[in-house]
Amino acid sequence: MEDYWKKGDLAVLTGGTIERSGNFISSFQICEIIEVGLLDLALIQYPSRSFDKIEIVPKASCVKISTDAESLCKSGTAVASLGDLVLSFPPPYKRNEDIFSGILYSIEYFGGNPRNCKILCGEEFKVSAYERLLVLQKNIEQG
């Protein structure tokens, strides 16, 4: 049987801080596997720098990062269509604006690509950049 962990693979090293109140604040770091032991891994931060030290950690505190080219090439985000239930996020420079959801009512195209859209939120329309939409549910009446 082949070992799940392999030298050169990437892994997420998990950790965290336990506060006196009992609250746990998790943390993580992406690392490259340098060597594989019986129960432990030798890791170095990824991407590595000349002054990074090798950490020896239990395999149980790591999560392997794996993807293949075929899956990556076939993956993509859901395409929002008219009538879909969508969530709109503000652009990075307007983080204080509210996130809102509603029904995708219209899409404005520019150069063959969707640019802006109107979303029906209750009884009012709000405008959003199309690229800022997350599809929550597809319109089942389409198709």
> Higher confidence at residue 110 or residue 143?
110
| End-to-end Cα, the chain, rounded Å | 46
| Count of structural domains, the chain | 2
Examine the fold and report which residue of 40, 73, 106 is the final residue of a domain before the chain moves on. 73
pLDDT of residue 2: 59
- Using 50, 70 and 90 to split pLDDT, how confident is the model at 74? confident
For residue range 17-33, list pLDDT tens digits in order: 999 999 999 999 999 99
3-state DSSP assignment of residue 21: coil
**Is 65 within a domain?**
yes
pLDDT of the residue at 143: 52
Tell me which residue range forms the domain holding 130.
Answer: 85-137
Is 52 found in the same domain as 93?
no
Structural domain contains residue 126: yes
| 16 pLDDT tier (thresholds 50, 70, 90) | very high
CA distance linking residue 22 with residue 26, whole number of Å: 12
Domain termination residue (choose one: 18, 49, 73) = 73
Q: For residue 40, give the nearest of 62, 66, 21, 18 by alpha carbon.
A: 62
Give the global pTM.
0.66
The mean per-residue pLDDT over the stretch 105-129 comes to 96
Burial of 68 (0-12, 13-18, 19+ CB in 10 A): exposed
Going from the C-alpha of 110 to that of each of 34, 91, 133, the distances in angstroms are: 49, 19, 17
What is the phi/psi pair of residue 12, to 5°?
-100, 120
Among the listed residues 125, 121, 114, 72, the one whose alpha carbon sits nearest the alpha carbon of residue 100: 121
Q: Are residues 105 and 61 in the same domain?
A: no
**Of 139 and 67, more confident:** 139
Inside any domain, residue 61: yes
